[in-house]
């Protein structure tokens, strides 16, 4: 698969999936002796992905000559003071302030006058709010924030740690069609965060990929989606939300996201179409995703 600028030099960029390494962390995560195949696969997948993250941190530590760290760099005093100020605000006031900021940043970005310093915070806020709104419509308002949660849509959910019984697709009368669970979502146990993307084929692709822990780093994708806006912005993998969260036309993928995760987007023309819509509004060239 390759991603390229339309009418450009057609230079292919190889998209390669990552391979995890197996390593256990805690005794209660030892999958040996677990007879339930679904539960065993879930534990194996979690350990594989965790081991990959540790391996990456170790590699960066070797390059920098410093000990590995499991956390982010400590915030500066100004960042702490700013965060404390926002936390002291009442919830309605805090939400109103964030929405005013997001609205102004959106207008500036679409008009081509964006302040790059504001864009990372805008991306993080919009993505989190979009997924939270979709979660509320699906009835999983908090479950998607818990690492070990399982989606209530999978029929094999009871007995695997669900916080409530399975939810039938027919019991969501107000749910937009793009968010309604697919047959695969109703049969494959999975984390509820996968249910929140408004592109059915993309959700199915993610579920199929999770069946092979050696192919797909689910934690890596989650990190790229939820923690975008770091020091590498805007040249880092990210999803951006500009419209209604349940509408694929309101979403955009960065070039780096398509390059890294494009192999998961087979048959998901909606995301590329929406991405090119927002790129053209900013006067940028269209992208093409080929096989």
DSSP of 119-169: HHHHHHHHHHHHHHHHHHHHT-TTGGGSTT---TTSTT-TTTT-SS----G
CB contact at 8 A, 19 and 51: no
What's the pLDDT score for residue 120?
74
Burial of 70 per CB tally in 10 Å (0-12, 13-18, 19+): exposed
Mean pLDDT lowest for which of 1-15, 136-150, 176-190, 197-211? 1-15
Residue 12 confidence (pLDDT)? 42
% of residues, the chain, pLDDT over 70: 49
pLDDT for 166-183, tens place per residue?
455 455 657 889 999 999
- Return left, alpha or beta for 10; rule: phi > 0 is left, psi -120 to 50 is alpha, else beta: left
Greater model confidence, 287 or 161: 287
Candidates 216, 192, 188; CA nearest to 131 is 192
Q: What local confidence, expressed as pLDDT, does residue 288 receive?
A: 85
Residue 232 DSSP class:
T
- The answer to whether residue 23 scores a pLDDT higher than 80 is no
Does residue 270 surpass a pLDDT of 90? Answer: yes
SS3 content of the chain, % helix, strand, coil (to 5): 50, 5, 45
Q: Structure tokens of 166?
A: 């399975």
Confidence at residue 278, expressed as pLDDT on a 0 to 100 scale: 93
pLDDT for position 47 = 64
Least confident residue range of 30-39, 133-142, 218-227, 245-254: 30-39
Query: Residue 74's pLDDT is what?
Result: 46
- For the chain, domain boundaries: 2-16+40-54+116-290
User: Is residue 85 pLDDT above 80, yes or no?
Assistant: no
CA separation for the pair 153, 178 (Å, rounded):
15
pLDDT of 88 reads 43
Q: With a threshold of 0.75, does the pTM exceed it?
A: no
What pLDDT, on a 0 to 100 scale, did the predictor assign at position 10? Answer: 41
Q: What is the pLDDT of residues 122-154, one digit of tens each?
A: 788 888 889 889 988 888 877 777 877 888 887
**pLDDT of res. 25:** 45
Residue 119 has pLDDT above 50, yes or no: yes
Contact residues for 150 (Cβ-Cβ < 8 A; gap 6+): 42, 157, 160, 161, 162, 189, 190, 191, 192
Q: What percent of the chain has pLDDT over 90?
A: 22
**Res 210 pLDDT > 70:** yes
Q: What's the pLDDT score for residue 194? A: 92
Residue (of 148, 167, 164, 163) closest to 218 by Cα position: 148
Whether the CB-CB separation of 48 and 29 falls below 8 Å is answered with: no
The CA distance from 213 to 21, in Å, is 9
Contacts of residue 227, Cβ cutoff 8 Å, sequence gap at least 6:
124
């Amino acid at each position: 698969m390759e991603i390229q600028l339309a009418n450009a030099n057609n230079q292919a960029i190889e998209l390669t999936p990552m391979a995890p390494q197996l390593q256990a962390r805690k005794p209660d995560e030892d999958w040996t002796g677990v007879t339930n195949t679904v539960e065993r696969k879930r534990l194996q997948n979690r350990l594989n992905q965790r081991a990959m993250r540790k391996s990456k941190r170790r590699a960066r530590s070797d390059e920098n000559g410093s000990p590995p760290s499991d956390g982010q760099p400590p915030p500066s005093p100004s960042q702490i003071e700013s965060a404390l100020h926002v936390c002291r605000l009442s919830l309605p006031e805090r939400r109103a302030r964030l929405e005013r900021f997001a609205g102004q940043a959106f207008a500036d970005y679409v008009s081509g006058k964006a302040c790059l310093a504001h864009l990372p915070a805008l991306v993080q806020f919009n993505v989190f709010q979009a997924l939270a709104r979709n979660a509320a419509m699906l009835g999983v308002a908090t479950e998607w924030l818990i690492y070990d949660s399982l989606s209530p849509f999978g029929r094999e959910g009871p007995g695997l740690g669900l916080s409530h019984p399975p939810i039938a697709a027919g019991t969501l009368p107000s749910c937009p069609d793009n968010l309604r669970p697919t047959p695969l979502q109703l049969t494959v146990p999975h984390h509820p965060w996968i249910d929140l993307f408004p592109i059915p084929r993309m959700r199915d692709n993610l579920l199929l990929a999770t069946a092979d822990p050696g192919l797909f780093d689910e934690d890596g994708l989650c990190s790229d989606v939820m923690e975008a806006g770091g020091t590498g912005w805007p040249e880092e993998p990210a999803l951006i939300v500009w419209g209604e969260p349940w509408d694929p036309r309101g979403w955009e993928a960065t070039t780096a996201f398509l390059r890294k995760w494009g192999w998961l987007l087979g048959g998901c023309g909606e995301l590329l179409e929406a991405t090119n819509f927002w790129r053209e509004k900013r006067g940028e060239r269209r992208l093409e995703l080929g096989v």
